[in-house]
Amino acid sequence: MAVAAPPERITPPKEGVRTWPLIDQAAYVLCWVVGIGLCVIAAAIVLYMLVKGISYLKPSLFVTPPSPSLSQKASGGFSSPLVGTLVVSLIGIAIAAPMGVGIAAWLTEYRRPAGLARAVESAIEMLAGAPSIVLALFGLLIFSQGFLKFLSQGTAEGALGQSFLVAGIVMSSLALPLVVTSTREGLLALPSRVRESSLALGKTRATTIRSVLLPSIRPNVATGIVLGMGRIIGDTAIVVVLLGATLQNEPASSTPLLGFLRGTGSTMTSYVYNNSPAGEGNSPEKAYAAAFVLLVIVLILNAVVTRLAGGGSGFSLRRRLGWTR
Amino acid sequence: MAARPLETSAERRARRSERRTERTLGALSVLVLVAIAAMAVTVFIKAWPSFSYNGLGWFGTGAEPSAQLRAMHEGTPLPGHGLLYFTAWQLIWGTIITTGFAVAIAIVVSTLAAIFITEFAPAAVGRILDPVIRLLAAVPSVIYGLIGIVAIAPWINKNLISPSLANSVSYVVQLNGESLSTAILLLTIMILPIMIAISANAFASVPPSWREGSAALGVNRWRTIWRVSVRTAWPAIAAGTVLATARALGEAVMLAMVAGGRDFAPNLLDGLALLFEPVRPLAATIFQESGGLTIGPVSHTLYAIAAVLLVSAALLSFAGWAARQPLKKYGLS
Amino acid sequence: MDPLMPPPVRRIDVGQAPTIAPPRAQQPAPAAPSNGAALHRAPRRPATVTERMRLDSVWLAYGENWVVRDVSLRVNQGAVLALIGASGSGKTTLLRSMNRLTEITASAGRSGSITLDGTDIHNLEVNALRRRVSMVFQQPNPFPMSIFDNVAYALAEQRPKRGIRKRSRTPQLESAVEDALRRAGLWDEVGDDLGRSALRLSGGQQQRLCIARSLAAEPEVLLLDEPCSALDPISTAIIEELIVQLRESVAIVIVTHNLQQAFRVGDEVAFMHLGELVEYGSAEQVFDRPREERTREYVSGAFG
């Protein structure tokens, strides 16, 4: 028995906020204010840096090294700091990535003895929370004495403790927790049947990790690496303490690569700091330009992370709850 | 029939390589563990002379820290004290109010923002906010410092500090824009993204059945959010707060640039001027004085400050764990 | 005793036929047992029947599909209305429309009128309506709070016109909670410690807690959406007994997949099929003397 459609269809209204008690309405409005306010602040920061940065940015800045001079016109560009940033982050991530993946694999796949594994986890957590300035101090301590002197320039009482190598090594401890956490998340999310089927085929666990598990979590590992690089690139404290923050890159000796790596230098972050009123302070224009370039680099890295993470796995802030209103 | 060996050579090789791998990776992890433990121990060892000389007075008031540090640089101790004399109260107080205010504001703002993102925001706004939060999280702290020192501090100086206000405290300290409020503002913006991301994730994970049940009982949407979602998300909010506070405590460079850098303990009795007085948090102090690390007493003092920071980070971790315990009873973790 | 001997095995005697009564639905419907009603229905006192809600020509749609078509029913206090039907028959949607829970979905549409005590429910404020027409869901969903806080939840959120202050354990609040727990049959089991976490209760207890939670606001109508489908038979029996007792004070509508349950607890039964109301009458009439062919087929288990 077919029944005809009704004459009119009423669409239900949204739950009216007007009917709520006053204090709830106030909270609702407050949430909106905060939400829009966030967008405004972010827009303000980006626009400000954009405007100021572009107005002072010149292509020549990328290729001219900074030179000591009181006037802004003659103080050169930021080619050396740019190289410095690149070198330091490469060294840092070259150390942190394999170590981080290895530690994460050990923590998830082996975990024996259990007490040791827990201790390692706590240590990684502590490392993640340690201020970079403290890490820098510690780095200075161990790298300026003892058998590690060779990593930086020697002076009368021991090594300076400041060089690209030293800074790179300490920077790796910044990136390490991020790589470990990302890789662990990826490994823990893999269903156990992947491991079981590989082991059932007679592969050792080591082979399983190397040829089955790690390739499937490549996005996670990449995310961790890029996040780590972002953290390294954005750090200033370690650079100032462990790299010397000298105006130009000053190699420690004349040996081509090793001399450079053992020498002091600067990165974009210390360059911005030095040129701002807080540092030597006489070229805020260069500071703006360098800050702009730094921001762009970091944003690009960020976009890479977003694409690697698949734009939704675990980091997406909005999730449909089934309540579409 | 010949007895089959217990293990073929290939299996033996595999077993050995397996053990080798396990041992290598394990050794790697232990190496990191040892390095981190060594860091903590070394910092404390280097810090010990400063603590043992000053005793509990290290945390108290006395001469100004900058004067004490200058004395160490010059090698001439302040009258009546040794070279290691150091009283850090002004720095500690600076850290407490800067971090405290920033975290307090950030908790409120991040919870409201997370609620907005997950509940009230229309689809388009939500899509914008996602990259916005990530952008704010990615900005290096030195850029916040730059904006603070060249844009915000002068603005505050020009617009918010009236001459009378400046005069009221001029007998003690000169006010320019680099102050507590600049520091708090920028620090809050810096730690907000982490907290928002964690909180929003937690709010989105609240089981829909609870929210539906609450709606079916006739509780309006805001009350549902407040009593059910916030309660469920509370452990995550606590975890995010710990992370954010650790970041705020360790922030050295940005605060060195905008907080004023003069060791002055903002005085609550100064009224509104409190907000505009300069401040010198602990981590910023280490950074600013790092040039003097070759000098014995200075290095002991700076390591002592670093030790205090490490201990605070550990205490924070514990506090975060403790804050999550009461709710475990009700099934939330 | 020799320790290597296996333990003695109890032999199962399969000579006798099992003594389980065949389920009612497998008997052909026209051959109605004369005292079948007395066998499976819970004993109950006759109650005075007052009309609480009236549905007139209700149509409901999600998106483009009309999932409920032209349904007219009455919900009475003193009688339990059981909605039965196969999956997709629209009975759950109909239930949810009675407390306007369907409005959560943006694509929902409706037509027709639903009134509570004479007032169209769409003219009432939605939260006020839901306090008067309460719902219990299929999966127990107690909040992650103590038992006391769960039951007091709705009360604490109401405007203070009942004189109950928010969340403080006033004597009024405590007595209201105890009253609700007694009506739900849970007081004896949990009354000694109301501070326990609600999530530690068993499934049946959690569901009764949800019922207590709904009853705390003293609703006029209680909607139950397959409340026992996730529970074991003992808990089911306890809750069914509860339902029969409650029907005198609250109008009850229960949606159920389980025909025996509908017969056990229902006074009035409405059978829906593919969105239409096929048959609506007293329980005896629908199960023993169905008028429609489809009803007969459904209650005899031909489909479903």
pLDDT in tens, B247-279: 899 888 888 888 876 666 666 656 666 777 788
Q: Does A151 touch chain B (CB under 8 A)?
A: no
Across A2-11, A165-174, B136-145, C208-217, least confident range: A2-11
| Residue A154, pLDDT score | 52
C146 Cβ neighbours under 8 A, 6+ residues apart: B330, C194, C195, C196, C197, C198
pLDDT in tens, C166-205: 556 678 888 889 999 988 888 888 888 888 888 889 988 9
Contact across the interface for B217 and C153, Cβ inside 8 Å:
yes
B333: exposed, middle or buried (Cβ count in 10 Å: 0-12, 13-18, 19+): exposed
Q: Which residues, listed in sequence order, are joined to residue C62 by a DSSP beta bridge? A: C65, C108
Helix axes B296-328, B65-74, angle to 10 degrees: 140
CATH of B89-295+313-328, one of 1.10.1240.10, 1.10.600.10, 1.10.3720.10, 3.30.200.20: 1.10.3720.10
| Residue C26, pLDDT score | 42
Q: Does B36 touch chain A (CB under 8 A)?
A: yes
| Residue C84, pLDDT score | 92
State which amino acid sits at residue A249.
Answer: N
| Residue B189, pLDDT score | 93
Contacts of A323 in chain B (CB under 8 A): 208, 211
Closest CA to A75 of A58, A99, A53: A58
Residues 228-257 of B with CB under 8 A from A: 243, 246, 249-253, 256-257
Residue of chain A minimizing CA distance to C104: A323
Distance of CA A99 to the CA centre of its chain: 17
pLDDT band at B218 (very low <50, low <70, confident <90, very high): confident
Q: How far apart, in Å, do the first and last CA atoms of chain B sit? A: 61
Contact across the interface for A35 and B138, Cβ inside 8 Å:
no
Which of A255-259, A319-323, C39-43, C106-110 is modeled with the greatest confidence? C106-110
Backbone angles phi, psi at C89, to 5 degrees: -80, -5
Asked if CATH classification 1.10.3720.10 holds for the domain at A58-308, the reply, yes or no, is yes
This model of the complex carries an ipTM of: 0.83
| Residue C165, pLDDT score | 46
| Residue A318, pLDDT score | 38
| Mean pLDDT, rounded, of chain B | 83
**Residue C25 near residue C259, CB atoms below 8 Å:** yes
| Residue C13, pLDDT score | 53
Asked if residue B3 has pLDDT above 90, the reply is no
**Residue-range definition of the domain harbouring residue C53:** 47-144+219-299
Domains in chain C, number: 1
| Residue B70, pLDDT score | 80
Q: Does B283 touch chain A (CB under 8 A)?
A: yes
Q: Distance (Å, rounded) from C-alpha C246 to C-alpha C214?
A: 12
Q: Distance (Å, rounded) from C-alpha C210 to C-alpha C230?
A: 14
CATH code for position C284 = 3.40.50.300
| Residue C24, pLDDT score | 46
In which residue are the tokens 């008028």 written? C291
| Residue C8, pLDDT score | 59
pLDDT band at C31 (very low <50, low <70, confident <90, very high): very low
Q: Does B231 touch chain C (CB under 8 A)?
A: yes
Interface of C with A (CB under 8 A): 57, 59, 61, 66, 69-70, 100, 102-112, 122, 125-127, 159, 276
pLDDT in tens, C130-174: 999 999 999 999 999 899 999 988 887 765 544 444 556 678 888
| Residue C173, pLDDT score | 84
Query: Would the pTM count as exceeding 0.90?
Result: no
C54-74 mean pLDDT: 90
Distance of CA A117 to the CA centre of its chain: 25
Does residue C265 lie within any of the structural domains? yes
Helix (H), strand (E), coil (C) string for C274-299: CCEEEEEEEHHHHHHCCCCHHHHHHH
Q: Where are the domains of chain B?
A: 89-295+313-328
What is the SS3 assignment for A66?
strand
Q: From first to last of its 325 residues, what are the pLDDT tens digits of chain A?
A: 445 666 678 777 776 778 888 888 899 999 999 999 988 998 898 899 889 888 888 887 777 777 776 666 666 778 888 888 998 999 999 999 999 999 998 888 888 888 888 888 888 888 888 888 999 888 888 777 655 666 665 544 445 667 788 888 899 999 999 999 989 988 888 888 888 888 888 888 888 888 888 888 888 888 889 889 988 998 988 888 888 777 677 776 666 777 777 777 888 898 888 888 877 767 788 888 889 999 999 888 888 887 877 644 433 433 333 333 3
Across B137-146, B177-186, C13-22, C291-300, least confident range: C13-22
| Residue C225, pLDDT score | 93
Helix axes C203-216, C233-246, angle to 10 degrees: 20
Q: Distance (Å, rounded) from C-alpha A35 to C-alpha A49?
A: 22
Q: Does B219 touch chain A (CB under 8 A)?
A: no
Asked if residue B171 has pLDDT above 80, the reply is no
Q: Distance (Å, rounded) from C-alpha A289 to C-alpha A277?
A: 15
Asked if residue C108 has pLDDT above 60, the reply is yes
**Residue C141 near residue C225, CB atoms below 8 Å:** no
